[in-house]
Amino acid sequence: MKPPAFDYLRANSVDEVIDLLREHGPDAKLLAGGQSLVPMLNFRLLRPSVVIDINRVPDLDRISLTGHEASVADSTAGALHLGTLVRHHTLESSLEVRRCNPLLAAAAAEIGHLAIRNRGTIGGSLAHNDPVGELPLIAVLLDANLHLRNPAGERSVPASQFFVSLLETDIGDEELLTGATFPEVRSDTGWGFEELSRRTGDFAIVAAAATLELDGGIVRQARIAIAGVGDVAQRFEQAEELLQGGALTREQLAAVRDSIEQSCTPTSDVHASADYRRHAAGVLTCRALEAAWSRTETGAPS
Amino acid sequence: MTSKVALRVTVNGSKYEREVPSRQLLADFLREDLGLTGTQLGCEQGVCGSCTVMLDGDSVRSCLLLAAQVDGAEIVTVEGLAQEDGALHPIQRAFWEHHGLQCGFCTPGMMITALDLIAKLPLAEGSPELDQKIREGIAGNLCRCTGYQNIVAAVRAAAAKMSGQAEAEAGSTDSRESAP
Ligand SMILES: Cc1cc2nc3c(=O)[nH]c(=O)nc-3n(C[C@H](O)[C@H](O)[C@H](O)COP(=O)(O)OP(=O)(O)OC[C@H]3O[C@@H](n4cnc5c(N)ncnc54)[C@H](O)[C@@H]3O)c2cc1C
Ligand code: FES
Ligand code: FES
């Protein structure tokens, strides 16, 4: 099998990527880890005339931390800045990531297989926006900020506006995703990530992630996001509100499950029926919340 | 139009300089241009694992890389595992001893995957999750005939052998350093 004919161009700087994008526009495809793009080329689902390899652009694989922005009342939150070329295996194994955002590291570890994680990049995964991708899910959950460069300059887009629809994002034809900023998941915040797939390494059928931010044993803010029940990963704010202002209880979990089953609108496909996805979404969310609660060291839900 | 790309690459210790078509996959370059047909091609979409090779110390799918991308890199394929005198690599020996292969189609990919798993995952002997870790680690490599039991046994044995070796080497370095 051969990909369709194209020209291979290697960019050595962000400016060069932008120049090449401006020159070739929609005929060009950026090549990062290639773990989604190359299968599509091999199947000839895409026929770009130019492939621009960004793997050698320096500095796009940086990981850095800025700490202690006084963003929430008297507590402090740091932020994790990830260059677009940070590979999934680096996300799962980097001590900085595991310390600052263990949820992101845990989710990255569930992507495909080691050989896929050795190549696949965070930027490629966010740009590809697979409906059950782990990284878009966590970006939506935590409302990460996505950073873009284009001929006119730079802009940042919150995840809530970045993931537009199935395999579609807000990235323009002449734009490069340069990186993402994820908020710190602090030690007062419990987190949970649950995914259902047929075998280790398969794409998820449904995945759910949750965080519980506590203040003196009481939930100050809950976040819930689910992938696999729509074209893009979604937050479930109505269910989140049910959890605010108390300790996690069995009754609350049941209410959250009802709320999610009622508000999600999955469709049936070869992997699972809509009913199965709806059921899984409720169950996985409750498991993620229980895991989040237990990570706050407050014990099991009462 | 730059439909050909200059490529300098080290494969199993030998240096090559070639011109490759822009669209050529690394797997096809290894098999067709270099004659290294140990690397297999099954699905050509990253799923079966039979094309797995080492690229600068990481296992990768050679069906999902363009040959042009590996300019300046070091590749190790299954042909590069044994020593020059033919002495088998501990992973090859373990597959032999544990009957970890039958037709052999999946074996090059399995062994390269095992090489990376043993290097990156804590596969300490006696750890209760060891077999689970190995099973998860080779989940991206499909075998249609041997059955996975023997492959898991082979990876387990190779991991034990190689961590033993690493310890022995570390030990001998220590003794050398502490010698007067
Ligand atoms: C066997 C297998 C199993 C997998 N399992 C999973 C899984 O369980 N979960 C999961 O989420 N993914 C999975 N993947 C996909 C994997 O995560 C990919 O790494 C990811 O989807 C794309 O990242 P990439 O770096 O490989 O991007 P590429 O394949 O290089 O690019 C993907 C798309 O993004 C665009 N792009 C890339 N970088 C940029 C950028 N910086 N700016 C703008 N556009 C850009 C490309 O032009 C292309 O359209 C799997 C892949 C395989 C082959
Ligand atoms: S041929 Fe590359 S993974 Fe199947
Ligand atoms: S040995 Fe035949 S496919 Fe694995």
Examine the predicted complex and report whether its ipTM is higher than 0.95.
no
Q: Do A53 and B68 touch (CB under 8 A)?
A: yes
> For B105-120, what is the mean pLDDT?
97
Sign, Cα dihedral of B35, B40, B44, B50: negative
Atom number in ligand 1 closest to CA B47? 1
Cα B75 from Cα B59, distance rounded (Å):
10
Residue of B96, B119, B111 whose CA lies nearest to B166: B119
Q: Which of residues 102-131 of B touch A (CB under 8 A)?
A: 113, 116-117, 120
Beta strands in chain A (DSSP E): 7-10, 28-31, 50-53, 63-72, 75-83, 145-150, 153-158, 163-165, 168-169, 176-183, 189-196, 206-215, 218-227, 234-235
The chain A residue lying nearest B60, using CA atoms, is: A115
CATH number, span B90-169: 1.10.150.120
For the ranges A265-269, B129-133, B137-141, which has the lowest average pLDDT?
Answer: B129-133
Q: How far apart are CA A34 and CA B66, in angstroms?
A: 9
Q: Can you give the residue ranges of every domain in chain B? A: 4-80, 90-169
Interchain pair A35, B25: CB under 8 A: no
Say if residues A195 and A284 touch (Cβ distance below 8 Å).
yes
What backbone phi and psi angles, to 5 degrees, belong to A221?
-145, 135
DSSP codes of every residue in A140-151: HHHT-EEEEEET
Q: Which of residues 47-86 of A touch B (CB under 8 A)?
A: 51, 53, 55
3-state secondary structure (DSSP) of residue A53 = strand
A115-157 tens-digit pLDDT:
999 999 999 999 999 999 999 999 999 999 999 999 999 999 9
Domain spanning B4-80: which CATH class is it, in words? alpha beta
Cα–Cα distance between A260 and A279 in angstroms, integer? 9
Closest CA to A263 of A223, A236, A224: A236
Mutate-to-test residue for ligand 1 from A55, A125, A170, highest number of ligand atoms within 8 A of CB: A125
Q: Which tens digits make up the pLDDT trace of A7-26?
A: 999 999 999 999 999 999 89
- What are the backbone dihedrals phi and psi of residue A63, each rounded to the nearest 5 degrees, phi first? -120, 125
Residues with Cβ within 8 Å of B68's Cβ and at least 6 positions away in sequence, in order, are: A8, A10, A53, B5, B7, B20, B22, B24
